[in-house]
Amino acid sequence: MNISTQGMRYVCALAKHLHFGKASVEEHTSQPNLSVQIKKIESELGIQIFERSNKRVLLTAKGRDVVLTFRMVLDKLVSLKSDLGESELNTIKIGIFPTLAPYILPKILPNIKQRFPNLVLYIVEEKTNDIIKQLATGQLDCVLAALPINDSTLSQSPLFRDPFYLAVSKEHSLSKRKHVTLDDLKQERILLLEEGHCLRDQALDVCFNDKLVVDTSYESTSLETLRAMVGSNNGITFMPKLCIDQNEMVSYIPFKEPFSRSIGIYWRKSSSHREFFEAFSACIRATFSLDKIES
């Protein structure tokens, strides 16, 4: 069996884009050559990696296993080539979920630019399940996500804990309280984000455990829309401290018995850049050791 690293890259590029044109551009080759080389690999393995039609390209079940194997091999080869001590990346593709990205990036980017002056960041903002899938297939180098994620193929490094506050309208009866308890919310209309947001899942766990009632007649697509609903006194919600702003219409009240979300960074165990990701994690943690978020 004779499969070149170039052929492996061709397969991984097509798996990434599911489009011959885009994959050939990424690999700086022609579409016919890309197609021929991939067919040779399929013949060599005796496996159909892709389903092809005039309208689309799909990755088969066995093809997914092949792609994961090829990515592991390519990562290992990169690791061998970096044995001279090169541990940093010039570019990094990082995934962040929407209720974290706009609130954490302004805080961490100055430190990252100072620590890694030549680093170019490509940021993908998607729901947690989506960025974890993209990490597994090699489309992303690492992701920032809420702990825990149970995946034996990933390494993780905890970054900080982000306490939850109660967000209520300044017209609400609880708005003047110094502290609140979950029992205070028994008769309240609790608003949450739509399905797929990890922030919703964390809030649902709290509501379920304490028998709080969630208003399912309204589900927001964004944290800022949710904040606007709370500001107009149409309900209350849980707000991570990192996301608190100076809103004229909303009061944020700490809980007497605090609870929080934990944020970490994840990367593939097969990646050759473990040292870089650990240094990258330390840089982010350093930001919050000087801030009011719990490190």
- Residues 131 and 178 placed together within one structural domain of the fold: no
The pLDDT assigned to 211 comes to 66
State mean pLDDT over 271-288: 87
CA distances from 264 to 97, 100, 199, 277 (A): 12, 11, 14, 12
CA–chain centroid gap for 170, Å, is 33
Task: Identify which has the larger pLDDT, 142 or 55.
Answer: 142
- Residues 156 and 166 placed together within one structural domain of the fold: no
pLDDT above 90 for 140: yes
- Residues 268 and 128 placed together within one structural domain of the fold: yes
Q: What percent of the chain has pLDDT over 90?
A: 41
**Domain end call among 81, 112, 127:** 81
The pLDDT assigned to 195 comes to 67
- Residues 167 and 254 placed together within one structural domain of the fold: yes
Single-letter amino acid code for the residue at 12: C
Q: Is residue 295 part of a domain?
A: no
pLDDT above 70 for 208: no
**Domain end call among 81, 113, 138:** 81
CA distances from 114 to 17, 80, 264, 275, 278 (A): 33, 28, 21, 18, 16
State mean pLDDT over 5-16: 91
- Residues 141 and 272 placed together within one structural domain of the fold: yes
- Residues 166 and 254 placed together within one structural domain of the fold: yes
Residues 6+ apart with CB under 8 A from 222: 98, 193
Strand 154-169 vs strand 260-268: parallel, antiparallel, or unpaired?
antiparallel
pLDDT above 90 for 182: no
Could you list the residue range(s) of the whole structural domain that residue 17 is in?
5-81
Q: Is residue 55 part of a domain?
A: yes
**What CATH number is attached to the domain comprising 32?**
1.10.10.10
Q: Is residue 191 part of a domain?
A: yes
**Domain end call among 58, 81, 104:** 81
Given the structure tokens 């034996």, which residue do they identify?
Answer: 152
**What CATH number is attached to the domain comprising 141?**
3.40.190.10
The token duo for 52 is: 């092809």
- Residues 41 and 53 placed together within one structural domain of the fold: yes
Cβ atoms of 62 and 109 within 8 Å: the answer is no
Alpha helices in the chain (DSSP H): 5-17, 20-26, 31-45, 61-81, 101-115, 128-136, 198-209, 223-231, 274-289
Q: Is residue 30 part of a domain?
A: yes
- Residues 243 and 177 placed together within one structural domain of the fold: yes
**Count of structural domains, the chain:** 3
- Residues 249 and 134 placed together within one structural domain of the fold: no
The pLDDT assigned to 292 comes to 43
Q: Is residue 284 part of a domain?
A: yes
Which of these, 189, 292, 173, 284, lies nearest to 236 by C-alpha position?
Answer: 189
- Residues 167 and 132 placed together within one structural domain of the fold: no
Residue pLDDT, tens place only, 13-72: 999 999 999 998 888 888 888 999 999 999 999 999 999 988 889 999 999 999 999 998
The pLDDT assigned to 96 comes to 95
- Residues 123 and 69 placed together within one structural domain of the fold: no
- Of 51-60, 124-133, 197-206, 282-291, the one with minimum mean pLDDT is 197-206
pLDDT above 70 for 242: yes
Given the structure tokens 């961490």, which residue do they identify?
Answer: 108
- Burial grade of 246 (CB within 10 A; 0-12, 13-18, 19 or more): exposed
Q: Is residue 166 part of a domain?
A: yes
- Residues 211 and 245 placed together within one structural domain of the fold: yes
CA distances from 104 to 32, 112, 192, 213, 218 (A): 44, 12, 21, 30, 27
Q: Is residue 176 part of a domain?
A: yes
Tell me what the pLDDT averaged over the chain comes to. 85
Q: Residue 254 and residue 178: Cα distance in Å, rounded?
A: 7
Q: Residue 163 and residue 293: Cα distance in Å, rounded?
A: 8
Task: Using pLDDT thresholds of 50, 70 and 90, give the confidence band for residue 231.
Answer: very high
Q: Is residue 86 part of a domain?
A: no
